[in-house]
Amino acid sequence: LGGLVWVLRRALGPLAARLDRDRRRREVEPEDEDDFQERHLREFVARAHDADVLADSEAELIQSVFSMNDTIVRSVMVPRTDVVTIDADHTLGQAMALFLRSGNSRIPVIGEDADDIRGMLHLKDVTRALHHDGAATDTPVTEVMRDVRFVPESKSVATLLQELQRESTHVAVVVDEYGGTAGLVTLEDLIEEIVGEIYDEDDQPDRPEVEFVAPGVYSVDARMGIHDFREEFELPEEDEDDDVDTVGGLLAKELGRVPIQGSRVVVQGIELVADPLEPRRNRVARLRVSETPDRPVRLRRREEQAHGAAPADPVA
């Protein structure tokens, strides 16, 4: 009998193993099956692209749709430091002025600080209140603000996009694991994860970091690294530079608040002025950099000469 059992085990062992594998495959969780299918679809798209069946833009668009499930809100939000806010005790008149200066259409209303968000103020609500409903300019903004949609920073972009579409909501406040404000995310931020950066007629993409405007005056990308900026404009390094990474961050640090169009500071004889905001992102995209009268004009003399400007005398 023992010999018969041994023979049957040897003969039927592979079949039993195969049946066990099939059983486990049928018991795979649905999400595992989805991952399996997505992996095959990604491979199919890659092969179609390699075979020139799909253009580069088409393949990137399809791959970006797959990537939405793996991308979290924190990676696409406007960070807290770039969010323009208004205090709850401000008036509709002050709010309208801030809307016009900042270029925003929605501004969070805060209490004690940026972690105490009371509501969301919409430009169209303020405009309707002032010019249609006859509200006084000293009416508190809390009278017309709306409720806020809060989302965790770890939520996937795909999930949030579906939720905002379903709720007809265009903006949400992103909170971190401790409940503090991490940033702001808009419906457009999420859509750009699929179709790429959206530009309108006011955008000027692919501009150089530093553009010559006039002798001693330049337009500088706000994302230019602070160390590159100091090297470019012959400014000495400072220990405080460790607190900021970009020239836009330097402007915000010197101001002590989020910069908006027209914000101005002077750093070591260099004047920084916030130029028009980045469309829809509503944050400073470029700075106008110029020397104050206290400092001789000597910045980037080679470019001034290239544009027909007389070179400045060297400074001893």
CA-CA-CA-CA torsion for 179, 65, 199, 211, nearest 10 degrees?
80
> How many residues does the structure list for the chain?
316
Q: Would you state the structure tokens that stand for residue 119, as one six-digit string?
A: 């509501």
What does the pLDDT read at residue 217?
A: 87
- The DSSP element (H or E) to which 306 belongs, if any, is helix 301-306
What does the pLDDT read at residue 307?
A: 44
Residue 206: exposure state from Cβ atoms within 10 A (0-12, 13-18, ≥19) = exposed
What does the pLDDT read at residue 174?
A: 94
Tell me how crowded residue 17 is: count the other CB atoms within 10 A of its CB: 10
Q: Within 13 Å, how many C-alpha atoms sit on residue 74's CB side?
A: 10
Q: Tens of pLDDT along the chain (316 residues)?
A: 444 445 445 544 554 555 555 555 555 455 555 565 666 666 766 776 677 766 776 666 666 666 667 788 888 888 887 888 999 999 999 999 999 887 788 999 999 888 999 999 999 999 999 999 989 999 999 999 999 999 999 998 888 888 988 888 889 999 998 889 999 998 888 877 766 665 554 555 567 888 888 888 888 888 888 888 888 888 887 766 557 778 888 888 888 777 777 888 888 888 899 886 665 555 677 889 888 777 655 544 444 444 444 444 443 3
Cα-Cα-Cα-Cα dihedral sign, residues 151, 157, 159, 162: positive
Buried b (16+ CB within 10 A) or exposed e, 82-94: bbbbbebebbbbe
Q: How far, in Å, CA of 269 to CA of 265, rounded?
A: 10
The model's pTM is 0.56
Using DSSP bridges, classify how beta strands 106-110 and 86-87 pair: parallel, antiparallel or unpaired. parallel
- The CA R_g of the chain, rounded to the nearest whole Å, is 28
Angstrom CA distances, 174 to 73, 104, 152, 253, stand at: 8, 17, 6, 22
187 with 168: CB under 8 angstroms? no
HEC-encoded secondary structure of 250-261: HHHHHHCCCCCC
What does the pLDDT read at residue 316?
A: 35
| Domain architecture of the chain: domains with CATH | 2-65 (no CATH), 74-195 (3.10.580.10), 210-306 (3.30.465.10)
What does the pLDDT read at residue 177?
A: 87
Angstrom CA distances, 30 to 25, 27, 176, 307, stand at: 11, 9, 30, 64
Q: Would you state the structure tokens that stand for residue 135, as one six-digit string?
A: 């509200």
Residue 306: exposure state from Cβ atoms within 10 A (0-12, 13-18, ≥19) = exposed
266 with 292: CB under 8 angstroms? yes
Q: How far, in Å, CA of 213 to CA of 221, rounded?
A: 13
What does the pLDDT read at residue 301?
A: 41
| Residue with tokens 């400045």, as numbered in its chain | 312
